[in-house]
A and B are shown apart, each in its own frame.
Chain A
């Protein structure tokens, strides 16, 4: 019972209806009104219209696109490296008993450490330039992917391999027709988790040390007391995180549709 998967949050499963938009719109209106009536001084909270104006201004100057582009580029490169390494490592320790015995104790020990705790050490070794941010993203992506790949491959029933042996299936066919379809769902879930974690860790790394990116934009906004810029960063980072998660979920659903069909 406890292992039952978490149900979709309120509203996610229902068809979209215009009424759903009412509370957020009301909230925005309330926020706007609270600022206009002077309940919150402008140093504390700026109205949503101000945030929108700031977003528009940064878009017009191309500044916002540059920050988003830099962040997403780091995410893409780091995630690709981490995911490929995770896939390879997960497959290795799942397929070879020797590799599992040799490497899994170290792997499981390192896994106990929150990735964010590696951030200062990465700065020490790599400095605060691009390699550092990409490495942090790669590490954040590596662990969930490696673990999901391992679980996915180990979850393939032994009987399937035996059937393959009876049919004298050749290795490429074994991989393509049995191993891949059986492990893809688990691996995709691992990739999605890795993607959202990588995004969080990237924001943290950019807050700490960066010359561009959404995290750096927020940190600069804080130092310059530009609440509108900080809020714009909050909105953008939330939106990107949301879209990454939704996109990954959509891919996951498409790829595993055959299971229920």
Chain B
């Protein structure tokens, strides 16, 4: 039991947590010296990172990818929320659009790439459309669910106050649906991010982290690839973290069960 007890101390945990990455690094260094062609040694990755940062490529790629992801998010997510809310409020629209949208949703979003590429050419536009579509569906589904399951007593209070449709939406449906709408937006962000990286890798158009990754693959540059993967992970983590904080702020009126 004493061995386990020491695990409760943070420095010990930290040291043990470092063991696996360090072993990985050693194995990698060993691989790199064995067959140099594909394995760039860890040191080379540091140099590649420094070079990419110095000549501005990395910053440029990060900004391009961020722009694409948020561009798609700002197109797809509001459309999704609007569609979802409208479908939740107005039944006939749900009947009309529901089957179509749920049908379209079944296709993996990346799977639309060839078709949209055929229509609009393989380029920036196609990438943005696929990213927007990826952002659209989670926002639509969650907003729809949020509006559709507003508690009846809220609606009844609204009826007693003689709310019109606009007031009903503004004061009852939207606040009540807000938590799920925000859940949808969080998912939209994640989906848009993944779709951005995916479309960049697959189309290779413009600049961006995915484009550089794909280029690094054709040029057999593992060092550049690892730098871009790390940048992708870091950016994704930061964006997600910021968004969760924003979400908590927006929902601070809720009982703190979150």
Instruction: Give the residues from 16 to 60 in chain A that come closer than 8 angstroms, CB to CB, to chain B.
Output: 20, 23-24, 27, 44
Is B194 touching A102 in the complex (CB atoms < 8 A)?
no
Kindly state whether residue A112 has any CB partner on chain B within 8 Å: yes
A 1-12 binary contact with B (CB < 8 Å = 1; else 0): 111101101110
A116-B194 in contact given A102-B19, A208-B201 (Cβ < 8 Å): yes
Q: Interface size (A, Cβ < 8 Å)?
A: 58
Is A238 touching B103 in the complex (CB atoms < 8 A)?
yes
Kindly state whether residue A68 has any CB partner on chain B within 8 Å: no
Kindly state whether residue B142 has any CB partner on chain A within 8 Å: yes
Is A225 touching B118 in the complex (CB atoms < 8 A)?
yes
- Stretch of B51-59, B70-78, B161-169, B177-185 with 4 or more beta carbons under 8 angstroms from chain A: B177-185
A89 to chain B, nearest CB (A): 12
A106-B100 in contact given A125-B38, A234-B112, A238-B111 (Cβ < 8 Å): no
Contacting residues, chain B, for A97 (C-beta < 8 A)? 4, 7
Contacting residues, chain B, for A231 (C-beta < 8 A)? 115
Chain B residue, CB-CB nearest to A217: B114
Contacting residues, chain A, for B96 (C-beta < 8 A)? 23
- Stretch of B41-49, B152-160, B231-239 with 4 or more beta carbons under 8 angstroms from chain A: B231-239
Task: Please name 13 further chain A to chain B contacts, defined as beta carbons within 8 Å, in addition to the given A9-B145, A23-B99, A24-B99, sorted by A numbering.
Answer: A9-B141, A10-B98, A101-B12, A105-B18, A116-B194, A116-B198, A121-B229, A124-B38, A203-B108, A218-B114, A218-B115, A221-B114, A233-B114
> B residues bordering A, Cβ < 8 Å?
3-4, 7, 12-13, 16-21, 24, 38, 87, 94-100, 102-104, 106-115, 117-119, 141-142, 144-145, 148-149, 179-180, 182-183, 193-194, 197-198, 201-202, 209-210, 213-214, 216-217, 220, 222, 225-226, 228-229, 232-234, 236-237, 251, 254, 257-258
> A residues bordering B, Cβ < 8 Å?
1-4, 6-7, 9-11, 20, 23-24, 27, 44, 97-98, 101-106, 109, 112-114, 116-121, 123-125, 199-200, 203-204, 207-208, 215, 218-219, 221-222, 225, 227, 230-231, 233-234, 237-239, 241-242, 245
